Amino acid sequence: MTPRRLVIVGGGSAGWMAAAYINAALNRNGRHVVDISLVESPDVPRIGVGEATIPSINHILAVIGIDELDFLKRVEGSFKQAIRYDNWLDNRGETYYHPFNRYHESPIDRTGERWLKSSRSLPFAETVSAQPGLCEQNLAPRMLGQWNFGPPLTYAYHMNALHFADYLCEIATARGVQHHLDNVVDVEQNDDGSIAAVNTQGGLRLEGDLFIDCTGFAAHLMEKKLGVEWVDCSQWLLCDRAVTLAVPHDMHYPGHIRPYTTASALSNGWVWQIPLQNRRSLGYVHSSAFISKEDAEREIRAFEGPHADGLDTRFINFKVGHRAKAWVKNCIAIGLAGNFIEPLESTGLYLADLASVMLTEHFPYGDDMDALAFRFNRIMANRFYEILDFINMHYCLTRRTDTEFWREVQKPERINDRLQAKLDFWRIKPPSASDFEDQYLPGQPDTPLPDGGTQGDHRPPVDTADLFGIDSYEAILYGMDFLREECDQWYGERRPPTQVARIVAERLALAPSRLPPHDVWLQKVVGMRQYGGSGKG
Ligand code: FAD
């Protein structure tokens, strides 16, 4: 078979993930089915902040054949076991976790129900997962010696996404991916409207059978050439800008590396803290309609305190939404060119990773791509809305009334219909696993996407709970004190004390003698520099 010619335009994390993954997944076992070229502008910088991931990244790393320790060294990486939310509920210093691991009872898990029937004196996540406790002690999810701490702890990573792209570039080009540093200035089309070739400033003409648009929000192929519409979702997620800064450990080292991402709600959005081996990355995600650039910068500097003095800030504008169709004719938009949801649950790289995996699974070996594009578009739309609902929920359950922004996000028109149907149903019957097998709940909207996938696809997106299932929903719902009044009515106001699952308590008791502090693990295993003051805290 003649190899298919795949041209990727754009070399951010999305472009290089697609190149490295597709090459590793398809050109294997002596087969060579696709010739991959990637052209990347030397002038347009990648979006690169200190970025947090979710555990699914392990799949793509494994298929590419990346060694974890090498990866951590190259991307200044650290472990992430959870997200900690501060001040989301009522701005009185409350905190809750969304951990990656939790304990379940079998065959039917009643841990959530039991917590609802208790006095709720302990946060839900702490009763079913050791990870909030491990995070509070800044412990690594790995041991220094051989693992003997029970079932493995699920984790993801924090990383420098610019280094990640460079690392993937090195791997992919060593395995035959052609790399061109040049600006694409023109896109040629065939008579049927599909893309024939891209032309660069430097005089290159790259012909292809398939093109991936990874040019970020510019979407040079998908939007500028093919005119594929962007479906705006800012009605439900109001934030559209971030101001970022990075605090080198050289300037201020807090004495530990948190093994989790922190998302602290501020006056008009929230600030991430992502610890890397050499610095902490911070970004205040906010809504430009509610706060000026100057005030946002003032607020993030005040949040960080004196260590922020003299550090540069950077503003990044973004838009929440997705391409009406991510795959049109022979062009597929991956990364920011295809979709974006604000980074509250660290799903940006995940969506690019998913698109690469799905494209590999639906790879067009012939010219008739319609059926493959139909399924690909459907899967991407379903997953996008699954994430949108979930992130929307973090905002609309708040009880904060201290600013116009927090009052606005609670208004009914800011809650999307699918999520509203879920919340309404769970106010009649608390969430349970069966709700996530088929999420067509009473009151679910029956309206299709504006341009739903492909001709004849008139169904609304379906939440398959593939990413955020009951574990994730319970963590956020109960972290945000959902069903408090209902529980008083259902179970009475005097209820038994909340208990931590025995297995969780046992694990936590054992943890300090088994798991090293996160920074100690990073120093000993991947050579992180020592900054002094290491340890728990
Ligand atoms: P970019 O990084 O913008 O890359 C675009 C590429 O296209 C560049 O290489 C550029 O040179 C090239 N290009 C542009 N024009 C041309 C041209 N004419 N010719 C040739 N090449 C061209 N995701 C997470 O998973 N976790 C997080 O914590 C997270 N935080 C984020 C915070 C913010 C504020 C934002 C905006 C995003 C965040 N993301 C996060 C998302 C993540 O950054 C992106 O999904 C990821 O970086 C992929 O970006 P990209 O490659 O699509 O685009």
Alpha helix (H) residue ranges in 416-479 = 417-426, 470-479
- What is the best residue among 38, 39, 47, 350 to mutate for testing ligand 1's pocket, by most ligand atoms within 8 Å of CB? 47
Helix/strand/coil for 498? coil
Instruction: Find the mean pLDDT for residues 229-247.
Output: 96
Ligand 1 atom with minimal separation from the 352 CA: 45
Residues 6+ positions from 351 with CB-CB distance below 8 Å: 335, 338, 339, 341, 380, 383, 384, 387
The amino acid at 189: Q
- pTM: predicted TM-score of the whole model, two decimal places: 0.96
pLDDT tens-digit readout, 30-86: 999 999 999 999 999 998 887 999 999 999 999 999 999 999 999 999 999 999 999
Instruction: Find the mean pLDDT for residues 501-520.
Output: 97
Q: In what order do the strands lie in the sheet with 184-189?
A: 184-189, 195-200, 205-207
pLDDT tens-digit readout, 160-183: 999 999 999 999 999 999 999 999
Lining ligand 1 with CB less than 6 A are 9-15, 39-41, 44, 46-47, 49, 51-53, 161, 183-184, 214-216, 218, 220, 242, 283, 316, 318, 335-337, 343, 346, 348-350, 352
What is the set of active-site residues? 80
Q: How far is the CA of 225 from the centre of ligand 1 (A)?
A: 19
Q: How far is the CA of 201 from the centre of ligand 1 (A)?
A: 21
Of the pLDDT bands very low, low, confident and very high (cuts 50, 70, 90), residue 464 is: confident
The predicted pLDDT at position 48 comes to: 81
Ligand 1 atom with minimal separation from the 182 CA: 20
Identify the DSSP state of 225: I
Retrieve residue 364's tokens. Answer: 């067009």
Does the structure show a pLDDT above 70 at 10?
yes
Ligand 1 atom with minimal separation from the 43 CA: 11
Q: How far is the CA of 439 from the centre of ligand 1 (A)?
A: 32
The predicted pLDDT at position 462 comes to: 78
Count of residues making up the chain: 537
Instruction: Find the mean pLDDT for residues 309-313.
Output: 96
Taking a C-beta distance cutoff of 8 angstroms, is the pair 253, 528 a contact?
A: no
Q: How far is the CA of 179 from the centre of ligand 1 (A)?
A: 18
- What is the best residue among 7, 8, 13 to mutate for testing ligand 1's pocket, by most ligand atoms within 8 Å of CB? 13
Instruction: Find the mean pLDDT for residues 514-525.
Output: 98
Taking a C-beta distance cutoff of 8 angstroms, is the pair 370, 329 a contact?
A: no
Ligand 1 atom with minimal separation from the 334 CA: 52
The predicted pLDDT at position 159 comes to: 97
- What is the best residue among 44, 164, 187, 205 to mutate for testing ligand 1's pocket, by most ligand atoms within 8 Å of CB? 44
Q: Domain residue spans in the chain?
A: 4-77+159-232+320-382, 81-156+383-502, 243-308
Q: How far is the CA of 1 from the centre of ligand 1 (A)?
A: 34
Of the pLDDT bands very low, low, confident and very high (cuts 50, 70, 90), residue 449 is: low
Does the structure show a pLDDT above 70 at 352?
yes
Taking a C-beta distance cutoff of 8 angstroms, is the pair 19, 61 a contact?
A: no
The residues with which 78 forms a beta bridge, in sequence order, are: 158
The predicted pLDDT at position 536 comes to: 39
The predicted pLDDT at position 534 comes to: 43
pLDDT tens-digit readout, 99-136: 999 999 888 899 999 999 999 999 999 999 999 999 99
Tell me the C-alpha distance between 84 and 70, whole Å.
27
The predicted pLDDT at position 465 comes to: 82
CATH 3.40.50.720 given to domain 4-77+159-232+320-382: no
Retrieve residue 505's tokens. Answer: 């308590």
Ligand 1 atom with minimal separation from the 337 CA: 52
The predicted pLDDT at position 277 comes to: 98
Retrieve residue 204's tokens. Answer: 């290159």
Instruction: Find the mean pLDDT for residues 334-342.
Output: 97
Does the structure show a pLDDT above 60 at 452?
no
Provide the mean pLDDT of the chain.
94
Q: How far is the CA of 47 from the centre of ligand 1 (A)?
A: 4
